[in-house]
Amino acid sequence: MSDSAAELIPHEPERQADRKVKYQAGAADKFITVLIYILFSLFAFVCVYPFYSIIINTISANDISARGEVVFYPKHIQFQNYVDVFKIPGLGTAALVSLGRTVIGTALTVGASAFLGFMFSQEDMWGRKFWYRFTVITMFFNAGIIPWYLTMRSLHLTNNFLAYILPTVVAPFFIILVKTFVESTPKELQQAASIDGAGIMTIFFRVMLPICKPILATVAIFAAVDQWNSFQDTLLLVTDSKLYSLQFILYNYINQASSLSTMVNLQNAGSTAMTSLATKQTTTSIRMTVTIIVVAPILLIYPIFQRFFVKGIMIGAVKG
């Protein structure tokens, strides 16, 4: 797979040197190399195959898919599932709710993290240390979900779109990321601006925000994924179906679909729209199609922004 002389050392410059040294790789060493490749390939397969297999099953003819014949490539390609699935009542609304909370929530979280990260780097701020601790310590304890639910309810944040947004605005981990980044930039930038007569807000908007773009991109990606994936807040705080998020609809649908099929078999009464949907589609095909719709945004942005994720966790680790 690769030349055995280079196996010993993982760093590029030494690999060059190694080739000349003619490192003697034993049989055991080669065996390990092969084993590593096999094990990682297997694990990678296990990570990707579920996504792939569901995608090819949703675009294959449903009867062939139901017989388990779609394994490596789609058969009798059709996209009707994706058209039909939007006939399920509530899916469109849920998509809007998820999109809305992701866009608005991310914007506010990024803005607040940028501002607070910057402000916490201001050494002359009154009580800076205390307030920074006050913020960071919330990462390590919480009252528990039920006390949280009870207090949210007393604040009238049940069945309220704001419940998706407000609790996430001040996010300690993101604030740490920004603060670490701001502190790594030269102090002279802020000093120069300040001598030129710029106030603290001008320095933030005109000087720091443009410099912080890379770290804010990282924060935005993290925050958006968190918002999109959020499920627990809907579960606890929302009973109004107009405010259901896609994740919640998906969860409901996984559980309903099975009862739906038995229900359809037992009684012919009930909503005609749902019955015709269930007969035209199998419960499995609907379930898989909704899954792909919910996961699609992640699958699409992930390869593009992967380096931002990695950067984020590495900066976070320094201070974590």
Question: Is residue 281 at the binding interface for another protein, with CB under 8 A as the rule?
Answer: no
Question: Is residue 162 at the binding interface for another protein, with CB under 8 A as the rule?
Answer: no
Among 34, 189, 192, 298, binds another protein (CB under 8 A): 298
For the CB of residue 177, give the shortest distance to another protein in the complex, in Å: 15
Sign of the C-alpha dihedral computed for residues 229, 170, 129 and 195 taken in this order: positive
Question: What are the residues whose beta carbons fall under 8 Å from the beta carbon of 77, sequence distance 6 or more?
Answer: 59, 60
- 3-state class (DSSP) for residue 286: helix
Mask 72-111, x = binds another protein (CB under 8 A)? ----------------------------------------
Which stretches within the chain are classed as H helix? 12-21, 27-58, 62-66, 80-84, 91-119, 128-136, 145-154, 162-165, 172-184, 187-195, 200-202, 209-211, 213-229, 232-237, 246-266, 272-280, 283-319
**Near another protein in 248-277, by CB under 8 A:** 248, 250-251, 254, 258
For the CB of residue 37, give the shortest distance to another protein in the complex, in Å: 7
Among the residue ranges 3-11, 77-85, 212-220, 265-273, the one whose residues contact another protein (CB under 8 A): 3-11
Closest to another protein by CB, 272 vs 278, is: 278
Among 59, 119, 215, 216, binds another protein (CB under 8 A): 119
Among 78, 80, 122, 185, binds another protein (CB under 8 A): 122
Among 129, 184, 314, 319, binds another protein (CB under 8 A): 314
CA distance 297 to 315: 25
For the CB of residue 106, give the shortest distance to another protein in the complex, in Å: 15
Among 38, 77, 83, 310, binds another protein (CB under 8 A): 310
CA distances from residue 86 to 94, 286, 313 in whole angstroms, order as listed = 11, 10, 37
- 3-state class (DSSP) for residue 169: coil
> Side-chain half-sphere of 98: how many Cα atoms within 13 Å?
24
Q: How many degrees, rounded to 5, is the angle at CA 244 between CA 238 and CA 247? A: 115
For the CB of residue 295, give the shortest distance to another protein in the complex, in Å: 5
Among 43, 79, 183, 206, binds another protein (CB under 8 A): 43
Q: Locate 18 and state its tokens.
A: 């190694």
In terms of Cβ atoms closer than 10 Å to its own Cβ (0-12, 13-18, 19+), residue 171 is: buried
Among 60, 106, 230, 281, binds another protein (CB under 8 A): 230
Closest to another protein by CB, 254 vs 274, is: 254
Question: Is residue 57 at the binding interface for another protein, with CB under 8 A as the rule?
Answer: yes
Question: Is residue 143 at the binding interface for another protein, with CB under 8 A as the rule?
Answer: yes
Among 31, 32, 184, 262, binds another protein (CB under 8 A): 32
Question: Is residue 116 at the binding interface for another protein, with CB under 8 A as the rule?
Answer: yes
- Comparing CA positions, the residue from 315, 311, 267, 294 lying closest to residue 85 is 294
Among the residue ranges 184-192, 211-219, 247-255, 273-281, the one whose residues contact another protein (CB under 8 A): 247-255
Mask 6-25, x = binds another protein (CB under 8 A)? xxxxxx-xxx--x--x-x--
**C-alpha R_g of the chain:** 26
- The amino acid at residue 23 is Y
- Contact 297/229 with Cβ under 8 angstroms? no
For the CB of residue 259, give the shortest distance to another protein in the complex, in Å: 12
CA distance 74 to 65: 9
**Near another protein in 188-207, by CB under 8 A:** 200-201
